[in-house]
Amino acid sequence: MTGYGKAVAVFNGKKINVEIKSLNSKALDLSTRIAPLYREKEMEIRAMIAAALERGKVDFSLWIDKDELSTATPINAGVLENYYKQILTISTERNIPLPTDWFATLLRLPDVMTKTETEELSEEEWTIVRQTVSEAIQKLVDFRKQEGAALYKKFSEKIDNIAALLASIEPYEKSRTEKIRQRIIDGLNSIPEVEYDRNRLEQEMIYYIEKLDINEEKQRLKNHLNYFRETMDNGHGQGKKLGFIAQEMGREINTTGSKSNQAEMQNIVVKMKDELEQIKEQVLNVM
């Protein structure tokens, strides 16, 4: 199901950014990009996302923007002073000229511009990060809810359209039986030299017409339409079930089409297929 959420927080001069996006998918397919400082919490972050999102191809990003003061590498004053004293001593003892540019010389020496401290994730910072992650996930969920309301309306319209098309088949279905019977009789009458058993003919026509009967398909399709509506109203986590129901609806519509040997009925079946295809395209968006 498509969605987007972003949240930002600030902690000790660091701007913490969280972004989460989702696209259609039959299952939860989660990929993460997490700043090194927070990677130890990846499993907890994944659990938070999985608890809120059951389906979708999800991209999660967590990164840090630091201000210039916090990103600048500090000068190790102690090491620099030690180098300075050593150079003065060697210059005096060895009678070697002192550097003309002290800073250029000293700043190139080992460990003068090296950070010695290792950054660790504090509980206070993680609390803020976790809240930010939760906020971004909730924004994505809210986004999905808005889309879900629109999908509910669209699905309801499509189901109503299929039901109306199904009802419109009935007049053609009644006239079709008599047309089939009359066509067979007319065909036999056009061959005067052929003798036939009228009782046997009636039996064969009944058998043939029963094979083309679509009352069972119509009833099953009506049941599927009602079940689809009920499932939509049952709330959260019904996406896969709606997909299964749509497949069953497709089977009944296809069978109806294969039994419909009348152009008007086949045209109606094509329209039902079109409405159902629009449902199938969007059903992956439902959690």
What does each C-alpha distance from 189 to 178, 184, 186 come to in angstroms? 16, 9, 5
Order of strands, sheet of 56-66, starting from the edge strand that comes earlier in the sequence: 3-11, 14-23, 56-66, 28-34
**Whether the Cβ atoms of residue 141 and residue 193 lie closer than 8 Å to each other:** no
> Quick one: CA torsion of 31, 33, 37, 38, rounded to 10 degrees?
-40
Q: What is the percent of the chain where pLDDT is above 70?
A: 83
- pLDDT attached to residue 136: 97
Distance in angstroms (rounded) separating the CA atoms of residues 212 and 174: 12
The predicted model gives 1-11 an average pLDDT of 90
**Residue 234 pLDDT class (50, 70, 90 cuts):** confident
Instruction: Examine the pLDDT at 237 and tell me if it is beyond 70.
Output: no
Chain centre distance of CA 53: 9
pTM over 0.85: no
> Quick one: CA torsion of 33, 35, 37, 40, rounded to 10 degrees?
0
Taking only the tens place, the pLDDT of each residue in 64-123 is: 987 654 556 677 778 888 888 888 898 888 888 888 888 788 777 877 776 555 678 899
Distance in angstroms (rounded) separating the CA atoms of residues 144 and 138: 10
Higher-confidence position of 185 and 145? 145
* Residue 286 in tokens: 């439902």
**Residue 287 pLDDT class (50, 70, 90 cuts):** low
- pLDDT attached to residue 271: 96
Structural domains in the chain? 3-70+126-144 (3.30.230.10), 75-106 (no CATH), 147-283 (no CATH)
How many residues in the chain?
287
* Residue 28 in tokens: 């939860």
The predicted model gives 159-185 an average pLDDT of 82
Higher-confidence position of 216 and 109? 216
The predicted model gives 213-236 an average pLDDT of 89
